[in-house]
Structure 1
């Protein structure tokens, strides 16, 4: 945050400084061009000039510090360099110029070398962790440099001969620099590691294709024992718990148990957090299992409902959440729990990027697929956890493109993309791969397939 002193100046450790200004012109087809005056501080552009009035809750202005805004950012050069690298040394050297945003790179070559590296300009802060706006006028929270490239997370040819990354924490607790405060749950990475350990060093292209489709929610093992330990309050709850006890943890679209458990976790997050946080509890719903694991592993004070005089236990809240979840599902899918199916709620909708905005036609061109998986399965298919009840648990996030590369013989690599290779609804290739993508099938791009492939030739119009 920067303190404006009058509107044309702001405070800094060196005294009052003038705002830098520049004009941005946004041309609008069929309308007048829009002119925007961008103010800048020593930390970066002033964002509060373009966000709703009062959002900052202070007379100060909000400025954004971001390494990507530096004029000497060379990330584009890094991308060019890695695409021309011949070995690990030249690949790593190219990534010295990868400045923003921080990415996890996995490397493998035909000589059997493997590596992991997470390059970026990672700020070193005098104080704070970057999660919240901080005063910028006294320099107490200023960046004092970047983590040296040699000290960024890296692993080359580990003794285990395995490198795994599935958005999990990439540094040990002893790592000396701050990369992030919060990390996604480790469940997917743990499941991958377990599957590779079972393989015992023998892992083919086909095995990798199968692994990408794994829908076991292994993180449930950490949470379900706590949830299932409660005493059910009615016959319906007893039936639900009996079903879950015999569940194999697979988030299969034709099974009722994934739907019941997902609704239970969703309702429990609301029961525990909404009384203290109000509508802000929604910011934590995305944490799902990971949030619940930390909230109910011990008898957390969060379990008490702050709006009542009674003191509720975690058991009370778990039982109440199960009833709320079953009420929700009964209203949507009827009273027969055995007929419920995860896929009925967990639908992936593929909308045409342009034509979907046209009434009637847009709905007709939308591809709908019942899907497997969940937020914490290797085959990631994160459900919608907010919005209207009729769209709750829709599949809104997953891998649109999948590939398995065989570096010993690249022609044996396998690929799949959703939903098809054409964006034209008039083409037979529009949506033609949807079911194959959903079901884990793949295609080859090897030369022997070229004879049966179709080619589209685009010719520039004469000037």
Structure 2
């Protein structure tokens, strides 16, 4: 990765680095405060976890039993009270986090962050759903509006209850949490972050403009291979990353942007299970945050008994199990968005060409309250027939409109889980999956009757005669969506003959599949290694699945270890390092000496192969998904295209020069003593709080870690890292389930259930996670009682 790339990455340190610093400079909260004072102040306003609280709008008492690991088990007598309590409890643990998420989703961050947040708010408002609200609500389930209303009433009740006893983040930054409405659960920002297709269109276009179409196809290949090319007559000048300025503004200050979304999930049926019932594993890979992106909860009421991980600002459980069915997610990667290049009128930029004529854009004006400004600021939002205009190029008379699934009703990320939560068997679960639209997910499932299956759940556009790999002209109508794939045409499988299913963001298109749903997938290394494990034995236990979730064998590492035999360093320490690498088994354990050498060598090889072929400003965004497979193909089968007239000689020169740079760099990063090198010393996981950039005292009080880490982005134990080798994404949440006994389920979530500094559950799960361990996922009332640490009774206010 280039110096330019490192600088870009450094700007994304933490959720609120830039924004919080801006606030501090403009408020009286800028004075330094000792870390101990911050801790004590935070402890003084911790949520009440025991005893009794009377709250308005409840119709009957609700029990909240928090177990030793901070997971709330909520027992209510009716659905409304259940979700009211879920909102209340989520606010107790994560109020600051969900308030920020709500502001990002609805475009009101400028109210608390000031003018710098305006462009992000504009983008959030542009991608907001603006269609038929009745269709929107009923797309999820008939009672979703009622559930969301109860959930948000619970959040508001907690805000009213604590009055000025706000979590310390609000005190430091000087603002109050806003009140919620049910519509706040319908935000589209989480969905637009989780699809990468329109961003890759821009990367591909910019690469073509820089190196030509033939080189672009080699550097950024598709799967299946597609000879992509710009549409006739579409000039690529000005089609670049700058078009995403609004997207960047909405995501970068909070680090909500992609950290390399991935995930693993797999399931075996009773034939391969020691218990005789299906076993299920799921570990979504998302950016490493403090607090965590996931919030675990158990919901129990008539018609409800579901436990697992979800979004703290949404009702229900996203992935987990109920009495009958277990399920887990990985991102599928269906192409769910396209950029249209609209030609605007020379005299009026709010009119754009449609066919041989001109039509007016829809123009919406909204006023935004901005912190520090005496008057609201008016934003002008423009829309074409294809969707929101996310960028305008007045000089070239162009507007860029985004058509994406988020424009359709029922596409609020993860809200469709409310239907999954109530499935009674595999058949009804698949029916519920059909309502899932965004983001695209590989959902593996199993039921207590022994059925297993997989469904690629996504609303997927049909493109006839074009591929969606590049931005397209919007005027003529030749690049329009022709409806959506029927549910029966989506990839899926049930009760396979080999008795297991596994997905890991790889190309999941079945053999002879005739629909073009996507061309950009994660490399198959994680899937291939998991498949090796699943075919290596005939019976599996929960312990086996735990081992697989922490599987650190790197298939690229094994490939480079073979190539290390071609190294010919002259320096004795470097020769010794080459020998260590050449005999390595490819396991990226924390104490692996060879693993540290491999990881730095891999970076230097990537730099050596790509930096001379891709302009520096494009390296961060271009070719990233396929970069390692492209590298390994070039190294294993050297050709003149890559290495000149003597391919093997050129290849070996790259291997050796990159290795020399890697050894020099390792000596600087660790020490000159080869024996002291280990992957875990180099590869660590820091947990950075949004307030940490306000000064050393905040960093000392709030931050956690760093902890040594194993694996990398290509091992099943996915721990994707940045240039500095700090982990930036991975499995912060995991579950393993045995359908023979729900109480045998295991889970992990890091660093803790609470976002409140000083809470016993702020960081209590970090030691387990760092040691590759789990806690029991208690489900039966008897088991929950055994592990209960806090008992809270919510009662109707008289």
For the criterion TM > 0.5, the same-fold answer is: yes
1:153-192 correspondence runs (5 A): 153-172=491-510, 174-192=512-530
Identify the structure with the greater helix proportion: 2
CA distance in 2, matches of 1:85, 1:314: 55
Tell me the CA shift for residue 335 of structure 1.
1.5
**Residues 1:154 and 1:286: Cα distance change in structure 2 (over 3 Å):** closer
- Does 2:714 align with 1:376? yes
Moved more, 238-247 or 169-178: 169-178
CA distance in 2, matches of 1:77, 1:421: 21
**Residues 1:448 and 1:298: Cα distance change in structure 2 (over 3 Å):** same
User: Does the 8 A contact of 2:553 with 2:587 survive in 1?
Assistant: yes
Tell me the CA shift for residue 405 of structure 1.
1.0
- Does 2:699 align with 1:360? no
Residue 407 of structure 1 corresponds to 739
CA distance in 1, matches of 2:737, 2:537: 18
Residue 244 of structure 1 corresponds to 581
Tell me the CA shift for residue 126 of structure 1.
3.2
**Residues 1:454 and 1:433: Cα distance change in structure 2 (over 3 Å):** same
Residue 591 of structure 2 corresponds to 254
Match of 1:23, SS state, is strand
Tell me the CA shift for residue 74 of structure 1.
8.0
1:20 to 355, 362, 378: 362
1:4-403 correspondence runs (5 A): 4-5=344-345, 6-13=348-355, 15-29=357-371, 31=373, 32-49=375-392, 58-71=396-409, 73=411, 78-172=416-510, 174-200=512-538, 202-279=539-616, 280-283=618-621, 284=623, 287=626, 289-301=628-640, 303-304=642-643, 313-352=650-689, 354-364=690-700, 365-368=702-705, 369-385=707-723, 392-403=724-735
User: Does the 8 A contact of 2:670 with 2:682 survive in 1?
Assistant: no
Tell me the CA shift for residue 428 of structure 1.
3.1
Tell me the CA shift for residue 412 of structure 1.
0.6
Tell me the CA shift for residue 191 of structure 1.
1.3
What is the RMSD of the two structures over their aligned residues, measured on CA atoms? Answer: 2.8
Tell me the CA shift for residue 281 of structure 1.
2.6
CA distance in 2, matches of 1:76, 1:424: 25
Tell me the CA shift for residue 169 of structure 1.
1.3
**Residues 1:42 and 1:213: Cα distance change in structure 2 (over 3 Å):** same
The count of corresponding residues between Structure 1 and Structure 2 is 447
Provide, for residues 357-416 of structure 1, a one-character-per-residue CA deviation record: whole Å limited to 9, x for no partner.
Answer: 43113321211111111111111111113xxxxxx1111111111111111110110111
- Regions of 4+ moved over 6 Å: 74-77, 458-463
CA distance in 2, matches of 1:294, 1:25: 53
Provide, for residues 416-461 of structure 1, a one-character-per-residue CA deviation record: whole Å limited to 9, x for no partner.
Answer: 1111233222123321221210211111133446344322648699
CA distance in 1, matches of 2:749, 2:459: 32
**Residues 1:2 and 1:343: Cα distance change in structure 2 (over 3 Å):** same
**Residues 1:70 and 1:292: Cα distance change in structure 2 (over 3 Å):** same
Match of 1:2, SS state, is strand
Tell me the CA shift for residue 111 of structure 1.
0.5
CA distance in 2, matches of 1:65, 1:460: 47
**Residues 1:233 and 1:62: Cα distance change in structure 2 (over 3 Å):** farther
Tell me the CA shift for residue 129 of structure 1.
2.4
Tell me the CA shift for residue 188 of structure 1.
1.1
User: Does the 8 A contact of 1:74 with 1:98 survive in 2?
Assistant: no
Tell me the CA shift for residue 160 of structure 1.
0.5
User: Does the 8 A contact of 1:185 with 1:290 survive in 2?
Assistant: yes
Residue 3 of structure 1 corresponds to 343
CA distance in 1, matches of 2:396, 2:649: 37
User: Does the 8 A contact of 1:75 with 1:97 survive in 2?
Assistant: no
Match of 1:441, SS state, is coil
User: Does the 8 A contact of 2:735 with 2:748 survive in 1?
Assistant: yes
Identify the structure with the greater strand proportion: 2
- Unmatched 5+ stretches in structure 2: 1-340
**Residues 1:128 and 1:237: Cα distance change in structure 2 (over 3 Å):** farther
CA distance in 2, matches of 1:301, 1:8: 51
- Does 2:763 align with 1:431? yes
Residue 450 of structure 1 corresponds to 785
Residue 139 of structure 2 corresponds to none
User: Does the 8 A contact of 2:410 with 2:437 survive in 1?
Assistant: no
1:419 to 751, 755, 776: 751
**Residues 1:302 and 1:399: Cα distance change in structure 2 (over 3 Å):** farther
Match of 1:85, SS state, is coil
CA distance in 1, matches of 2:388, 2:795: 40
Higher relative contact order (CA 8 A, sep 6+): 2
**Residues 1:399 and 1:295: Cα distance change in structure 2 (over 3 Å):** same
Match of 2:523, SS state, is coil
CA distance in 2, matches of 1:318, 1:301: 16
User: Does the 8 A contact of 2:349 with 2:397 survive in 1?
Assistant: no
User: Does the 8 A contact of 1:13 with 1:138 survive in 2?
Assistant: yes
Provide, for residues 237-284 of structure 1, a one-character-per-residue CA deviation record: whole Å limited to 9, x for no partner.
Answer: 322210012222211122221111111111111111111212123334
**Residues 1:176 and 1:10: Cα distance change in structure 2 (over 3 Å):** same
CA distance in 1, matches of 2:343, 2:602: 43
Tell me the CA shift for residue 320 of structure 1.
0.9
User: Does the 8 A contact of 1:27 with 1:33 survive in 2?
Assistant: yes
Match of 1:372, SS state, is coil
**Residues 1:458 and 1:47: Cα distance change in structure 2 (over 3 Å):** farther
CA distance in 1, matches of 2:715, 2:384: 44
CA distance in 2, matches of 1:278, 1:428: 49
User: Does the 8 A contact of 2:560 with 2:598 survive in 1?
Assistant: no
Tell me the CA shift for residue 233 of structure 1.
4.7
